């Protein structure tokens, strides 16, 4: 059926509809904040219109019928005829969800269940109630007008649409019929004719090649951008021109451009689309625009119709041509993998150049290395997306959870422009969602409780994202009740997670909430509080090589701080050696390198600290930690690393310098080795192990008793 | 020629073209669409090509037993002229 035939287009449809649904949701939430936000009302209308249009192209009638009612109501709202109310916005949120469901059902090629059908009917009735008083807006009537050319309505714009299908149009799996069927929905089709003069004689005919095109004159209330969007799925497979029908210059350009076997001007005149005087050389566009009203032309049905001219009405939006490309992320992953292999191969060349003492080859390898770094950065940048686009969806979650719990929440997203690898953004989404729910459910107190505590009845939840020292920090903070240390400890003792008398810092206690089954919520709700989740949240964050930290003050609120690496595939590393093993330290975490000379050694305290410019710097001896062989050099070095608020010195033997590091996962054998996040292949073929700095700091804190006094500020 | 399919589209177009060409070379083209309920643009284009070539060569061309569904598609594509000589 249709779905089998147009798999690729359906995939695009799904992607596009997801995007439009997300715009819808965002627009509704924006309007909730500012009811006068005309841009958002317009965005909401356009999103619904686009979904309806594209669904129509695929024959998803249930989606078209349902969204049409919503679109109708929004049209009235946009024109100021109906006031947008809070309950109406809530209905639109449900409409958005139901539209999503209808799309899913259409994709699954199944029928709606009676429950789903009932919900749709209820929402349609609700929308129609809002529309009450307006004549002829029932679903049936609207749909009826959609299926035929509407000849009675007045429209604000008139467009000339001209397209020619590219030769491989059919073999690319495209069909144009659904778009032609959709024109009457967009407005009033004044003229439409197929351009058939380029079709070769039957004996020279190639049946799989497309030779045709269409010329259409369409009166419509929609913007030129909206009309363009109708061709979204075929725009790369046709030569398309859309312009205002009174734009003589564009028309003349089109006539010049089209190389049909019969002159396009003759065809347009033959079909009566334009009066012959329109093409007169001495008539300027300006003159035509100024004197159009009384010109009439003969139509194919011999009735007189107003010439397609500019009418007064809402100002048309200028078209912003998008230069963005939709690329399957697996293609970028493949590219990154190939670059990774090139980085390794180039490292081998550089190694050989050093061995051979070949300066020319070494220089070439260096140039290649710089070029690879540029390419790598460029490709990585493709994957980088602004977190704000993805985080906007949390507004809906906060809205729904708050409503369900009868809490008022002022939710703020800060630093939305911060960029992060798209894959990381996607993977962090679920943990963030869970934590936000927790913040609202357990963090923010009830209105009554807040008032009793002298707080504002409106709780504040903030999602803040910012870059810091080569990592991205995501903070979720609330001004709720904060974590109850005593309760966490009691629960941890009950569950044998800690033992009686064990000394734990505040941070250690807070970290206990990430232990499986350790929910301290008084009540289990369907939102959170089952103790299943926070451990998974931590696991998910750690799987991204990230960390999570908690700060909390009872009665004042909590802040969950997540630190994530910028990218996952290739990092700038710093190559060091300890004993016989080479290690990589992520470059962005290095503050400085110092030689551990006799001056420092004299001031060392039990090999655990050094005095670095009058600051006690905790030291982690890599040789001791990993039981490395004795150093072959007498010289020792300290690499000073920083992660968040913590600083630490890594005591190593040799320093080799910067190294582009392709992160390769290590097998199960290394699973329990502390502080190692992966491996990389060096030019010599040797393996270097990549330090997991947060884990090493954690190890140092746990095993050597270093606590916050080593914090940097 | 009778097309024994309910739905004809790009995947069937080579076969249909071969059959139409054979009729065309035989001096008369009559296509029976009684069993067809859905066509795509590649089929419409072939029908137009056939009609145009038949007119050029003064060969009779007829579409037979067009179902409402197919007629609607032809109308939606502004190709009603294909039905002018329908039987």
Average pLDDT over residues B43-53: 95
What is the sign of the dihedral through the CA atoms of A626, A627, A629 and A635?
positive
Question: Using the beta-carbon criterion (under 8 Å), do A208 and B79 form an inter-chain contact?
Answer: no
Task: Kindly state whether B22 is in contact with chain A, defined as any CB-CB distance less than 8 angstroms.
Answer: no
CB contact under 8 A, A200 and B16: no
pLDDT greater at residue A497 or residue B40: B40
- Window 186-225 of A: residues touching B by CB (8 A cutoff) are 192-194, 196, 199-203, 205, 207-208, 210-212, 214
Half-sphere exposure of A171 (CA within 13 A, CB side): 10
**Pair B49, B11: CB distance under 8 Å:** no
d(CA A526, CA A518): 17
Selected residue of B6, B10, B12 to mutate for chain A interface (largest A Cβ count, 10 A): B10
- The torsion angles phi and psi of A457, rounded to 5 degrees, stand at -65, -15
Is the Cβ of A179 closer than 8 Å to some Cβ of chain B? no
CA angle A460/A465/A466 to nearest 5° reads: 135
Tell whether B2 lies on the interface with A, counting CB pairs under 8 A: no
Q: How close A363 gets to chain B, by Cα (Å)?
A: 57
Exposure string (b/e) for B54-69, b if CB count within 10 Å is 16 or more? Answer: beeeebebebeebeee
Residues in chain A where the model's pLDDT stays below 50: 1-5, 134-152, 282-322, 523-527, 529-532, 705-713
- DSSP at A544: T
> A116: distance to nearest CA of chain B, Å?
30
Cα torsion through A50, A56, A57, A58, rounded to 10:
120
Q: Single out the residue of A165, A268, A255, A272 nearest to residue A215, CA to CA.
A: A268
Interchain pair A208, B14: CB under 8 A? yes
Which tokens sit at A419?
């960029």
Residues of B in contact with A194 (CB under 8 A): 48, 77-79
- For residue A7, what pLDDT is reported? 64
Residues of chain A in contact with residue B14, where contact means CB-CB under 8 angstroms, are: 207-208
Residue of B nearest to A199 (CA): B49
Residue-wise pLDDT tens digits, A620-637: 999 888 888 877 777 889
| ipTM of the complex as predicted | 0.95
pLDDT (average), residues B31-41: 92
Q: Does A665 touch chain B (CB under 8 A)?
A: no
Full-model pTM: 0.51
Q: What are A289-321's pLDDT values in tens digits?
A: 333 333 333 333 333 333 333 333 333 333 333
Question: Please, what is the average pLDDT of chain B?
Answer: 90
Chain A interface includes B65 (CB < 8 A): no
Chain A CB within 8 Å of residue B56 CB: yes
The answer for residues whose C-beta is within 8 angstroms of residue A657's C-beta and 6 or more apart is: A574, A575
Rounded distance between C-alpha atoms, residue A299 and residue A284, angstroms: 24
**Using CB atoms and an 8 Å cut-off, which of residues 148-177 of chain A contact chain B?**
165, 170-171, 173, 175-177
| pLDDT value, residue A470 | 66
In B, which residues are within 8 Å of A212 by CB distance? 41, 45, 48
The sign of the dihedral angle between the CA atoms of A606, A609, A611, A614 is negative
A295 touches A280 (CB < 8 A): no
Q: What is the pLDDT of residue A280?
A: 67
Rounded mean pLDDT of B13-37?
92
């Amino acid at each position: 059926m249709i779905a089998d035939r147009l798999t690729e287009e359906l995939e695009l449809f799904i992607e596009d509809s997801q995007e439009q649904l997300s715009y819808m949701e965002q627009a509704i939430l924006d309007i909730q904040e500012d009811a006068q936000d005309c841009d958002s009302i317009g965005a909401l209308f356009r999103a619904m219109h686009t979904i309806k249009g594209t669904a129509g192209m695929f024959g998803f009638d249930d989606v078209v019928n349902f969204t049409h009612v919503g679109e109708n109501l929004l049209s009235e709202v946009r024109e100021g005829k109906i006031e947008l109310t809070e309950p109406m916005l809530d209905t639109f949120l449900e409409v958005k969800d139901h539209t999503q469901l209808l799309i899913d059902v259409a994709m699954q090629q199944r029928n709606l269940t009676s429950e789903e059908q009932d919900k749709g009917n209820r929402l349609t009735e609700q929308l129609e109630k809002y529309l009450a008083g307006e004549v002829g807006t029932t679903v049936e009537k609207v749909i009826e007008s959609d299926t035929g050319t509407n000849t009675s309505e007045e429209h604000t714009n008139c467009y000339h649409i001209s397209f020619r299908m590219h030769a491989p149009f059919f073999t690319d799996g495209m069909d144009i019929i659904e778009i032609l069927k959709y024109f009457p929905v967009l407005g009033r089709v004044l003229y439409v004719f197929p351009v058939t003069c380029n079709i070769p004689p039957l004996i020279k005919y190639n049946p799989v090649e497309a030779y045709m095109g269409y010329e259409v004159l369409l009166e419509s209330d929609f913007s030129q951008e909206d009309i363009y969007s109708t061709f979204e799925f075929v725009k790369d497979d046709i030569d398309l021109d859309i312009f205002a029908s009174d734009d003589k210059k564009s028309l003349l350009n089109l006539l010049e451009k089209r190389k049909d076997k019969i002159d396009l001007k003759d065809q347009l005149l033959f079909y009566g689309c334009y009066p012959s005087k329109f093409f007169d050389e001495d008539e300027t566009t300006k003159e035509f625009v100024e004197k159009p009203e009384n010109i009439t032309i003969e139509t194919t049905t011999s009735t007189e119709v107003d010439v397609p001219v500019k009418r007064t009405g809402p100002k048309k939006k200028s078209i912003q041509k998008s230069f963005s490309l939709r690329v399957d992320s697996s293609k970028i992953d493949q590219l990154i993998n190939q670059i990774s292999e090139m980085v390794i191969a180039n490292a081998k060349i550089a190694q050989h150049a050093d061995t051979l003492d070949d300066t020319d080859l070494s220089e070439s390898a260096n140039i290649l290395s710089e070029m690879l770094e540029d390419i790598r950065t460029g490709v990585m940048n493709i994957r980088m997306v602004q977190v704000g686009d993805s985080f906007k969806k949390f507004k809906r979650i906060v809205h729904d959870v708050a409503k369900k719990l009868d809490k008022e929440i002022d939710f703020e997203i800060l630093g939305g422009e911060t960029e992060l690898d798209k894959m990381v953004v996607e993977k962090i989404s679920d943990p963030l969602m869970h934590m936000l729910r927790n913040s609202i459910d357990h963090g923010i107190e009830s209105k009554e409780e807040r008032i009793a505590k002298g707080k504002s009845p409106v709780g504040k939840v903030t999602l803040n994202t910012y870059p810091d020292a080569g990592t991205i920090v995501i903070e979720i903070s609330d001004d709720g009740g904060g974590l109850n240390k005593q309760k966490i400890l009691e629960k941890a003792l009950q569950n044998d997670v800690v033992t009686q008398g064990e000394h734990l810092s505040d941070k250690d206690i807070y970290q206990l909430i990430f232990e499986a089954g350790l929910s301290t919520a008084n009540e289990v709700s369907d939102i959170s509080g089952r103790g299943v989740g926070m451990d998974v949240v931590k696991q998910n964050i750690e799987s991204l090589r990230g960390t999570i930290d908690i700060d909390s003050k009872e009665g004042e609120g909590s802040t969950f701080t997540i630190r994530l690496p910028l990218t996952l595939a290739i990092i700038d590393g710093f190559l060091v050696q300890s004993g016989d093993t080479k290690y990589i330290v992520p470059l962005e975490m290095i503050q400085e390198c110092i030689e551990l000379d006799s001056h420092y050694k004299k001031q060392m305290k039990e090999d655990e600290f050094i005095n670095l410019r009058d600051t006690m710097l905790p030291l982690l001896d890599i040789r001791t930690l990993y039981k490395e062989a004795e150093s072959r050099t007498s010289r020792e070095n300290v690499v000073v690393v920083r992660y968040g608020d913590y600083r630490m010195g890594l005591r190593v033997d040799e320093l080799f310098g910067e190294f582009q590091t392709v992160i390769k996962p290590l097998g199960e054998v290394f699973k329990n080795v502390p502080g190692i996040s992966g491996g990389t292949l060096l030019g010599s073929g040797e393996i270097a192990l990549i330090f997991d700095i947060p884990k090493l700091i954690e190890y140092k804190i746990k095993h050597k008793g270093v606590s916050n006094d080593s914090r940097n500020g | 020629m009778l097309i024994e399919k309910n739905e004809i589209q790009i995947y069937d177009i080579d076969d249909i073209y071969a059959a139409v060409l054979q009729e065309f070379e035989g001096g008369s083209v009559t296509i029976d669409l009684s069993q067809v309920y859905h066509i795509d643009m590649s089929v419409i284009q072939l029908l137009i090509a056939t009609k145009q070539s038949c007119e050029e060569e003064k060969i009779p061309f007829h579409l037979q037993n067009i179902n409402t569904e197919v007629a609607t598609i032809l109308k939606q594509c502004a190709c009603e002229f294909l039905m002018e000589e329908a039987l």
